[in-house]
Amino acid sequence: MHTQSDDWPRRRLKLWLRAVEVWFWYKALTVFEMLPYYPPNEIVDALLYGRFAIWVEILGFYAIALLWVPLILPLWARAPLWSRLATIGALTALTVWLQSLTFGGNDILKALLVDHEDHYTWGQISRAPLILVGLLIGEALLRCYFEPTSRRRLVLTLLGLGALMIAGFYGLAFASGDVHAAMLAVANNVGKHPPGLEFMLFSLGGALVLLALALAGGAKAAKALMPLTIVGSDALKAFIFIL
């Protein structure tokens, strides 16, 4: 494991420097996004975390996450599977509880920690379970990628989980009596901030299905989709280009 190697301090520093880079572009693109529509005082307010922009806020989330994730990686790497799963469950329960609190009227703090319906930003605690699930999938992929049988099993597992989540979304949609309205709500990002069950089932389930298909396609699919894979090879540059 990288966290147990001698060069882990260097790798950790690299992640922290990446956090600074992402944070810089977050602030620069905040100005770029808001400049045509907002007066200077509101832009300064956003730069000082007095309010949030919209499209660039995912970069703000990543910048903060890149500060604390390297700190928990060594402990996460040594933890048994049951404790990792328990941590994900505990963070999910903590998010539900914190969502019911007012944080003393400090909406900005609530948005940064667990999302707020009036601010288009991602909470560190509310999205932490997704980060940890990603670490689990990444470790499984690292162990299975070059072993065809294990890799096939991982692909089927991800595909099955993703399909089950999407089926759960449609089950809830049918139960509500209006599938079209449920799909339209997802398209309009209803349930994105704070995270709602239907939105998470559809979006996370779809992401798992796409990941499974990408792994199944392997190098051949990557070569066939070369223009897309080149654009996505550096997520930060791709985001800057799109914005």
Q: What is the pLDDT of residues 20-60, one digit of tens each?
A: 999 999 999 999 999 999 999 999 999 999 999 888 999 99
Are 29 and 243 in contact, with CB atoms under 8 Å apart? yes
Per-residue burial over 12-30, b if 16 or more Cβ lie within 10 Å, else e, is beeeeeebeebbebbbebb
**C-alpha–C-alpha distance, residues 43 and 102, integer Å:** 26
* CA R_g for the chain: 20
Q: Tens-of-pLDDT digits for all 243 residues of the chain?
A: 677 788 999 999 999 999 999 999 999 999 999 999 999 999 999 999 999 988 899 999 999 999 999 999 999 999 999 999 999 999 999 999 999 999 999 999 999 999 988 888 899 999 999 999 999 999 999 999 889 899 999 999 999 999 999 999 999 999 988 999 999 999 998 888 888 899 999 999 999 998 999 888 887 877 777 776 676 677 787 777 777
Count of beta carbons in the 10 Å neighbourhood of residue 96: 11
- Rounded to whole angstroms, the maximal C-alpha distance in the chain is 58
Place of tokens 């897309």: 228
* Domains in the chain: boundaries: 145-243
Write the burial class of residue 171 (CB in 10 Å: 0-12 exposed, 13-18 middle, 19+ buried): exposed
DSSP 171: H
> What pLDDT, in 10s, does the model give residues 115-135?
988 888 899 999 999 999 999
